[in-house]
Amino acid sequence: MLETLLANMGRRRAFVFGSLAWGALSLTACTIGPDYRRPEVELPSAWQSGAEAVAQPVTADWWKTFGDAPLDALISEALEHNQDLVAAAARMDEARAQAGIARSMLLPQLSAGASAMRSRTSSNPDEVPAKLGDLGTAGGMLSWEIDLWGKLRRLNEAARAGYAASRLDRDATRLSITAQVADTYFQLVAIDTKLAITQDTLRSRNDALRINQRRFERGLISELDFRQAQAEAASAKAEIPVLTQSMRETEHALGVLVGRTPRELVEGRVARAGVLTSLTAPPAIPEGLPSTLLIRRPDIQAAEQRLVAANARIGVARAAYLPTINLTSTLGIQSDALNNLFAGPVRTWSFAANLAAPIFDWGRTGAGVDVATAQQRQALAQYQSSIQIAFRETLDAMSNRATSSEREAALRMQLDALQSTLKVAQLRYGGGYAAYLDVLDAQRGVYAAELQVVDARLVQLTASVALFKALGGGWQAAGQAGAPEARADTPAIVR
């Protein structure tokens, strides 16, 4: 019935309402507040890196460049079950809903309502008795705030930027979680490798201890040599519980990162590679990548979207100086008998325009503009700081990876030399040409060098992870599918 009443509204009233609405819309071309312009960033004209390397494309799933199936499985598990990612996705959904609310404020709002009232008039016993009356109404109301100065559009702009920032925050969280999983996984494999080295060292020293014990019992060596061999075996044995505890703690931390339940933490086990040296070294950074590649980092993009939102809120604050216009139109029916509400002849309608303008508020509006302007400056500083941090992290990761590679090569040469020294010392001691202390020194040197090689390899792998994270993920060489296109004004990374 209400739809029929709306359809039967007089053409004259519809024309008047439409004319006023069209006139109001024609006034909404202006938008108060500053339009967003991306801040200028002084980028380097050349990118300094380490030694020359052959360019190789890297896929978006950067962790797969390490060629380790257990790592791939753990990261897939983390992307599905990590609770930080679940919370980030929920925050993104919240921001999307907030953006929907802001968008709806730009459009007319239609509502419907109905009421029923029963009343009794006062009675005079000397004249007439009291009268009972009924009054029922039903109708619809169309209301619209005319966005004369662009305040609602600025609110919508800020909400959309907030949603974009939350989506990018989720991507940044995803990148951070995958990097943490890779780092923790490499630490776990490194501990396993050190544990295996220590167990091999313990077996070797126990073998030497048994031989020296028999020789001591036969009077072929002094008690000093026997006790030194005994002490070295005990020293290696003492390292095993420390490494075992560290392995268990790292395994538990990795289980939490991938989102395992408490039961899985207690009963499950993290699959991993055998030794750290079995992992494939990641490719080198290709030549010719643009320095603006760092700007694609999700945390930098999120900081820029927050700057966009803060910039739009300046316009919202400034709009408080200006008047607001609201249009309201109602259409309904009325009857003094509820059973005749939709059959009675009484029709009601109204059309109203409301204008409200501030006059004096003791500086509240000006303070609101100052607050929005200060927040915009904060967002700008955070955006510029995020770019500075990105370049610092990238430079540190590139330098760390290059130096750790050089250190590993040098330590491997040292290990080869110490292993040869140990063989010579054992031969000389067996022939009676050297003291057992020479053998002990060589054994200690080999054991320490083996652990240092593992540490250097771990630093190289974690530096590679840090580089992937600093660049916002994997990269691709120019001409590869999906590679970022460099603009004419984009400086290139020159090696």
pLDDT digits (tens, 9 = 90+) for 313-322: 888 888 877 7
Lookup: tokens for 156: 């919508």
Residue 398's CB is within 10 A of a number of other CB atoms, namely 23
Lookup: tokens for 450: 């083996």
154 within 8 A of 47, measured Cβ to Cβ: no
Q: 132 versus 271: which is more confidently predicted?
A: 271
Band of the pLDDT at 21, cuts 50, 70, 90? very low
pLDDT at site 51: 39
pLDDT at site 28: 46
Band of the pLDDT at 132, cuts 50, 70, 90? low
Residue 380 lies in a domain: yes
Mean pLDDT of 239-265: 90
Q: What amino acid is encoded at 285 in this protein? A: I
pLDDT at site 246: 93
Residue 417 lies in a domain: yes
Q: Is the dihedral of CA 284, 287, 290, 292 positive or negative?
A: positive
Query: Residue 389 burial (CB < 10 Å; 0-12/13-18/19+)?
Result: middle
Residue 446 lies in a domain: yes
Neighbouring-strand partners of residue 398: none
CA–CA dist 3, 140 (Å, integer): 10
Nearest to 103 by CA among 158, 177, 148, 59: 158
Q: 467 versus 296: which is more confidently predicted?
A: 467
Query: What is the tens place of the pLDDT at every residue in 455-494?
Result: 998 998 998 898 888 888 766 543 444 443 433 333 333 2
146 within 8 A of 325, measured Cβ to Cβ: yes
187 within 8 A of 270, measured Cβ to Cβ: no
Band of the pLDDT at 290, cuts 50, 70, 90? low
Residue 486 lies in a domain: no
| Residue-range definition of the domain harbouring residue 192 | 66-107+137-322+358-470
Residue 131's CB is within 10 A of a number of other CB atoms, namely 10
Helix (H, G, I), strand (E, B) or coil at 161: helix
Residue 153's CB is within 10 A of a number of other CB atoms, namely 21
Least confident of 172-181, 207-216, 285-294: 285-294
For the residues of 354-421, what is the DSSP string, one character each? Answer: EEE-----TTHHHHHHHHHHHHHHHHHHHHHHHHHHHHHHHHHHHHHHHHHHHHHHHHHHHHHHHHHH
The total number of structural domains that make up the chain: 1
Q: Is residue 449's pLDDT more than 80?
A: yes
270 within 8 A of 248, measured Cβ to Cβ: no
- Measure Cα distances from 332 to 5, 9, 112, 392, 457 in Å: 8, 10, 9, 67, 79
CATH number for the domain that contains residue 424: 1.20.1600.10
Q: 181 versus 14: which is more confidently predicted?
A: 181
Q: Is residue 43's pLDDT more than 90?
A: no
Where is 138: in which H helix or E strand? strand 132-146
74 within 8 A of 495, measured Cβ to Cβ: no
CA–CA dist 440, 112 (Å, integer): 93
Residue 330 lies in a domain: no
Q: How many CA atoms lie within 13 A of 88 on its CB side?
A: 21
272 within 8 A of 70, measured Cβ to Cβ: yes
| Pair type for strands 132-146 and 324-335 | antiparallel
Q: What is the DSSP letter of 68?
A: -
CA angle 409, 410, 412 (to 5 degrees): 65
Work out the mean pLDDT of the chain and round it to a whole number. Answer: 77
Neighbouring-strand partners of residue 118: 134
Residue 47 lies in a domain: no
Q: 394 versus 126: which is more confidently predicted?
A: 394
Neighbouring-strand partners of residue 135: 117
